[in-house]
Amino acid sequence: MVRIAFLGLGNMGRPMAARLIGAGNDVALYNRTGAKAEAVAAPGARVAATPREAAEGAAAIISMVGDDAASRAVWLGPDGALGGNAAPDAFAIECSTLSHDWVIELAHLAARAGLRYIDCPVTGLPEQAAAGELMLLAGAGGDDLADARRLLAPLCRDIIHFGPVGSGTAYKLMVNLMGSIQIAAVAEGMLQAEAAGLDLDQVASVLSTGAAASPQVIRNARRMAGGDHDPVGGFAGRWRLKDTLYGLALARKLGASAVLGEAAAGAFQKSVDSGFGDANESRVIDALRHAEEGGRRGGTGRAERLAP
């Protein structure tokens, strides 16, 4: 049995924490909204009032929160986990998708606190988290990751080691930026199909079997065709925008081209600005549809349906 502090119990954090509890660990739970922690608590788990309290005596501190600001809040300050009295050589494992700059800074702060830091963002949706089928994208020293693998095993089907600290986050931001481009492209394509008078359910079905298919394309085309933008079981538009902006920041830091990423960021910014930030990311199609309609009303262009 391992004593673990788990910080953040949102859509992904809840099933991840439940997996660690179910594996027989002694888990201290912290969430900014305490009711969520109480809902996850079970035999083998306890609720902590602060991240620092959760980290007391922990062999591993795992965070799964929304963005840099939330990560800073749980790790730093008088009530932060880095101020807790964790076990000697404890792990600080950040599973959130964060900016590369903050991950590198946090790694230095964790090392100063005597913790072994692993950046470990994940791929997968809540149902995969509940089944222990996530993929973990790790940046860490080889010995540190080897020591942490058994602890992380209940969460995942695989752990991919990309290299030193920061490399797991670099991969996650790159692949999420690609995903943003794909989703924006699906929205644009579905709107073109709609303007052409095609049946969107049929379009989504055929897309899923063609060369353009990917999990992102298949999932979002189906949602767009059905108008199903419920965030449950999916990914909210505001988080997609956040990941896109973090990916662009890394591209700029590396001097890498991100022309398509910039266009995708613009699409998701429109979605959030339209009030769709809490809807599933697929609702970007409505933001683009509204923008097209506004452009036609303003005389900047006109789309015509193809004759039957």
Percent of the chain with pLDDT over 70: 93
pTM for the full predicted model: 0.91
pLDDT digits (tens, 9 = 90+) for 210-227: 999 999 999 999 999 999
Q: Where are the domains of the chain?
A: 3-164, 170-297
Q: What is the pLDDT of residues 195-210, one digit of tens each?
A: 999 999 999 999 999 9
| Pairing mode, strands 134-139 and 122-123 | antiparallel
Give me the CATH code for the 170-297 domain, please: 1.10.1040.10
CATH of the structural domain 3-164, one choice from 3.40.50.720, 3.40.50.10860, 3.30.70.580, 3.90.650.10: 3.40.50.720
Q: Is the pLDDT of residue 295 over 70?
A: no
Dihedral angle sign, alpha carbons of residues 75, 78, 82, 88: negative
- Ranking 23-37, 102-116, 234-248, 250-264 by mean pLDDT, the lowest is 23-37
> pLDDT tens digits, residue range 142-196?
899 999 999 999 999 999 999 999 999 999 999 999 999 999 999 999 999 999 9
Q: Which residues are catalytically annotated?
A: 172
